[in-house]
Structure formats: structure tokens, C-alpha cells
Amino acid sequence: MDLAHEKYEALEHNILAANPAADAQRIRAAFEYANDHHGPQLRKSGEPYIIHPIAVAEIVNELELDQDSIIAALLHDCIEDTDSTHDDIARLFSPQIADLVEGVTKLTRMQYTSREDEQMENLRKMFMAMAKDVRVILIKLCDRLHNMRTLQYQSDAKQKEKALETMEVYAPIAHRLGMQKLKWELEDLALEYLDPVGYHDVKAELANITTLHAGFVDSMQAHIEQRLSEEGVKCRVYGRLKHIYSIYRKMYAQNKTLNEIFDLYAFRVIVDDIPACYNVLGCVHDMFKPVLGRFKDYIGTPKPNGYQSLHTTVVGREGIPFEVQIRTWQMHQTAEYGVAAHWKYKQGMANQRLGTEREFEWVRKLLESQQDADPDEFVRTLRVDMFSDEVFVFTPNGDVKSLPAGATPIDFAYSIHSAVGNSMTGARVNGRIVTFETPLKNGDIVEIITSKSARGPSRDWMKICKSNEARNKIRQWFKKERREENIATGRSMFESELKHLGLTLAAITATPDLLDTLLKRVRFGSLDELYAAIGYGGLSAQKAAGRMKEEMTRLGRLERQRAEHEAMQAAVSSGETVYPSTAKTSAPARRHSVSGIIVEGLDNCMVKFSKCCTPVPGDPVVGFITKGYGVSIHRRDCPNADPARRKPEEEGRWVRVSWAETGESTFRTSLEISAKDRDGLALDVAMALSAQKAKLNTLAARSQPDGYAIINLELFVQDQRELTGVINKLSQIPGVFLVRRVGG
């Protein structure tokens, strides 16, 4: 039998020992497949390559992960290092196993070249986020552990690189997953390559001191066991020296000597239940002198990664202090194997010593996830959801960038520098040219192609990018670089939005007062500024137009309220006229009206000129709010407006009005001429009007039985002055003895 088969037989034996129900045939098929595919490949040690996957499967089995994990461990380098594919594995084994192998392959391909501290947390997050299934991380940790155990065959540079990665990425992840045992071994192995001198110093000192303390651990262990057995406590006691890296840190980071370290030795007392833990604590404190301030109850208050135990430090024989950790079997599994303990529990349940599913509550806490999932399902398909809103990608130099999920090359470019984004002409992801819309995935290596002659970002980029950083930087660019263009674009966008809301630009710009108010509402000094902001994307055209409409509606409502209020006040002030000085106190907003009339307190209301008195500009006038036809304008001397004749219940409807200075419109008015009837009279009237440039609308002449005639005219004039001129001219016509305004 060759070495590969020899090693495999040992593995299979161990697998069946841990789990007699394991499907040995399937596992063997995985081994044969991997063995065939790796073929004559050798490791740096000179051993056949297959020895490595077998060793990784051994560690996976020690963690007592499930059978799929063991098979995936055997196959874990097939996709990376042989011509095997995901499809092959899915077909021959299962899609789940193929996914596990592919997941491990992705993590293998990650390059941790960064040396920046702030990058490390991102690296760890990316590592966790890339694995959709926590078993992928566990298998990868086992892979790394075996590679660290055999690191002596690698080059110096490779050793340092792998050791640093292990210390900065893998060990913290093992810690986060609660896997102390694996973490300690990784840390000690990494330290040996990172600081060989420090490592060997500590190791030598520890060897010294343990020689000095010869037999200490064994005798202390026996001593404790005996006492607890006398007390009737069922337990196991393990004594050990703490791992090298934890002592190294205390000596170097905290600058302590070995003698100052209280917890060089640690004893674990493992019992069946929690009451027994406190019972043991009492016994230990009875046997040895406790060190003040060193008792910690992590049962009542577990550590964030789920760790539970009672810790105390006591002073033993010859004044040697040591730590005692007291815990139940279940707490022990959790402490040693963390997340991996889940599968251990599952299998252990058959031999009855372990708890129920309810106990896996800590797994959730461990990963700080609030997910309300069935614990088994949760662990099995554990996505590291705390990073699901982030994506982690590499620069070509190996720096890690954290971007929002769904981020594109545009986000990436702007996360490097706005100059990179602004001069971007293309992007490569993992060496391939991609479109700007391509969503980036965890672990992608992204390269931005720039050009000095780039035309700058396009407006569409703002819709494509996911990060506010990119959006803001693109906006800044448009704001600075393209003002003229922005104004033009913004104006047309704004106009089309207004149209959508049934408004026109003219309606807004017609009156400067209104425009000012509206611009203030959107906080811009001029229309150009508003257009520019819309143009570069600082303000949406829809929003701007919406605010304009809102504001116009609001102003209209205010005016109506004011008019109603004034009308009420007027109604209260008994039978007085509405236009005396009392009204002056309410400073009315001067609003221009297309009709040439300003109605105080009412904006844009419908105005008509009463037929009874046909007022023209310059006439003293008063308004009456009709039921349904707006405000009707009367001359003050109109009999219908005579305060003496007004109906008291309508007093509130009379409002102050005045003429606007328009100079544009003309007003229709009526005159009545009394004259001695004669031939050509009507013609003379028409001639006189024509001479005065007054436009005649209608003329009706009727003869009276007594030889006189009455002529009724309807004509258009601009104002009272013009009308007076017309009346004078008409009065000079021979035979005319009276010209009067109708209704006066």
C-alpha cells in the first residue's frame, strides 16, 4: 500500500470511530477522485499532494463536522489545482459538496497583500462575507492550520506572508467563531515565523520554569480531583500551560516578566451542570488562597462570542499562582470548537451528554444576527449576514475597499479618488473588461482605466452608482465643469416637469414678486441657479416643479383665507362703508390683475365690470363679491353701490378695489347722448369718436316723439381721462345738449 492509501485508511478509521453511521464508500470515492486528479503533484515537502487534503479532512473530522464537510475537505484543492470543475463534483458527489469546494477555492484565491491596519478588519469581513456557508470558513481554517503546520518547507518570504495572514485574518476569525483551540494553535504557529526570537525566548523560559515547577501540573490536578471526588462531584480536571502567544503578548505588550504572569497555568474543571460549577468554585477557594479581583463569572455574563465559564485565580503549592476555569461539558465544547461545536452536539446527542437545540441560542449571539431562523438551518446555511449590505473588493495593489452591496466600477473609481472617477474610460474586473453597470462581487479585483482626454462622468452614472460618495463627487463635477450646459439641461427638465403639473414657465415668471417667493421656497437666488442645480443633479426637476406648484397652491389658499377674514371683519363693522380709513390698518398685498383691477386681499380673482355703470380706470370704484362670478366692479357713484341702498346682509361682500397701472387694456363703457334730432347726427357722433381714437362697439339711436333723439353708445377707452376727452368732444357736436355716463 502506498503512503496515500495508508494515510487514507487511518482517516477512514478515525471518521468511523467518531461517527459509525458515516458512509465510508462515498468518502472513499472522494479520496480516490482527489488522488486521481492530483496525480503526481508533490507538495514542497516532497510528499504526494494528496497527503494535504487527507490531513485537512482529519482536522475537519476532529472538529466533528458533518460528512459533506469531510468529503469537501478531501476535494478542497481539486478545482484550484486540477482540471476538475464544479460541475464534475456536483455530478459525482452533490451540488452542496461542489458549492463547499468552490467556496473554499474562492477563499484560497483571495490575496492578502495589504499591510495596512485599517485594511485588516475589511479583509476579515470580506473573508466571512465571501463564504455563504459557515462550513466553508471552517474547512478553510483547517486547510490553513495544516499549511501552517507544514510551513517549514516554504521559502522565507512565503513563511512571513502566510504567518502574517494567519495572525491578522485567520486567527481573529477563529476567535470570532468561538474556536479557541484552533485559534491558539494558529497563533503559536504564526508567532514562530513572525518573531522567531521572541517565540523561542518565551518557549525557553517556559521550559525553564516548568522544570522548576516539575510535577506541579500533575500533582495539582490529582489534588483537585481527589478533593472533588470526596465532595461527591463528578468531574474531569485538565491542567496545562497557557499557549505561547498569550504569554508572549503579556510579556511584550504588557511588559511583564514571566513571574508577574498570574495565569501561566490553567486548570479546567469540567462538570455536568451549572450548580456543580459553583460548588466546585467553593471547594477550590476552600483549598487554595484566592487572588483578589481575579474572579470572573462568565456563566452569568457570557463573553460576546458565547464563551461561558467561571474563572478564578488561586495560589497553590510554593506560592505558584494558577487559574481555574470551571464549566459544564457543553460550555467546554462551545469554548473549544465554537460554531463547529454545533455538529458535535448533533452527533453527541445520541450519547446523551449534550443539550437541546435551544442551547444553540449562542450561535445567533455569536454572529450578532437577529435572524429568526431554525437554529439548524441557520448554522448550516449561515451567511454572515452582518456584512450583507457591504461588498469587499481589491484594488490591483491588494488594498481592500468596502462598498455598498451592488456597487459598480463607478463606485469603486470614486472611492479611490474623484480624479480617478472623472477620468474613467473603462474598467476591468478580474482582468476582464466590464461595463460600468456591472455589480461587483466579494473578492473581485477591480482596475479602472483612465484617460487624460476622458470627457468626464455622464449623468447616467448617478443612476448607476450605489454609494453616496460617488454620487456626490459626480454632482460636484457637473456643478463645476458644466454650468452653461447645466442651465440649459436644467431648464428643459424643469419646464417639462412643470408641463406635467399643468403649469407654464410664463405663469411663474410673469410676476417678479411671485417668482421671488417661489425661488425662496427652493432656496435659490435666481432661476439660473435653480436650472444649474437641476442640471448637475443637485435637485430633481420633479421636486423643484412640485415645490413650485405646492407654493402656488399655498399662496392661493392664504389669499382666500385673508379675503374671507376681511370679509368677516367688514360684515361685523355694521352698515359703514367698506373703504374708509379702517381698512388701511390691514396692509393689503398689492396683486396685479389681468383685468386691470386690484382687489385687496384677493389674488387672481375673476373680475367683471358692471353693466350698470361701466367703470373705466380713474373712476373711484368699489367691488362686490358676487355669488359665482367673481368680483363685480362698480363706480362709487353707481346707484347700485350706494351705501344707503345696499342690503345689510350683503355688507360683507363689498370690498375695496383699485385700478392697476397697466396702460394696456381698454375698458368698455356706456354713454347716453341727448340731442336735437337731425339728419347726420349719428354720423357726426361716429366722426367725433374716431377723431378721439375711441373705439366704438355699439351705437343705437332712437328718435323721440318730441323731435329729440337719444343715442346710446358702447365704446372702449383706456381710462377716465380719455373718456372725459370723448365726452367733451361729443358735447361740442351741434344739437347735443347732454352727454352722460350710464349708471352715474
Q: Provide the annotated active-site residues.
A: 80-81
- Collapse the DSSP code of 596 into the 3-class scheme (helix H, G, I; strand E, B; otherwise coil) and give the result: coil
Contacting positions for Mn ion (CB under 5 A): 77, 143
In the bound state with Mn ion, the residue whose beta carbon lies nearer, of 102 and 411, is 102
Residue nearest to Mn ion (CB): 143
- Residues pairing with 657 in the sheet: 599
In the bound state with Mn ion, the residue whose beta carbon lies nearer, of 131 and 726, is 131
Q: How far apart are CA 16 and CA 37, in angstroms?
A: 25
Nearest alpha-carbon partner for 171 in 113, 116, 130, 123: 123
In the bound state with Mn ion, the residue whose beta carbon lies nearer, of 42 and 222, is 42
- Sequence-separated (6 or more) residues with CB below 8 Å from residue 502: none
Q: Which three cell numbers stand for residue 578?
A: 367698506
SS3 content of the chain, % helix, strand, coil (to 5): 55, 15, 30
**Which stretches of 630-743 are DSSP H helices?**
681-691, 720-731
Continuous segment of H or E residues that includes residue 123: helix 117-130
- Residues pairing with 667 in the sheet: 717
In the bound state with Mn ion, the residue whose beta carbon lies nearer, of 56 and 271, is 56
Contacts of the segment 244-250: beta carbons below 8 A, 24+ positions apart: 244/188, 244/191, 244/199, 244/202, 244/203, 244/206, 245/184, 245/187, 245/188, 245/190, 245/191, 246/184, 246/187, 247/202, 247/206, 248/191, 248/195, 248/198, 248/199, 248/202
In the bound state with Mn ion, the residue whose beta carbon lies nearer, of 77 and 192, is 77
Nearest alpha-carbon partner for 673 in 642, 641, 696: 696
Minimum CB distance to Mn ion, residue 205 (Å): 34
Minimum CB distance to Mn ion, residue 364 (Å): 30
CB 378 within 8 A of CB 363: yes
Q: How far apart are CA 123 and CA 115, in angstroms?
A: 11
Which residue's C-alpha cell is 477563499? 107
Minimum CB distance to Mn ion, residue 133 (Å): 18
- Sequence-separated (6 or more) residues with CB below 8 Å from residue 594: 665
- Sequence-separated (6 or more) residues with CB below 8 Å from residue 682: 699, 701, 711
Residue 12: CB atoms within 10 A of its CB come to: 19
Q: How far apart are CA 275 and CA 273, in angstroms?
A: 6
Q: What is the DSSP string of 482-528?
A: -HHHHHHHHHHHHHHHHHHTT--HHHHHSSHHHHHHHHHHTT-SSHH
In the bound state with Mn ion, the residue whose beta carbon lies nearer, of 174 and 660, is 174
- For 701-710, letters b (16+ CB in 10 Å) and e give eeeeeeeebe
Minimum CB distance to Mn ion, residue 147 (Å): 6
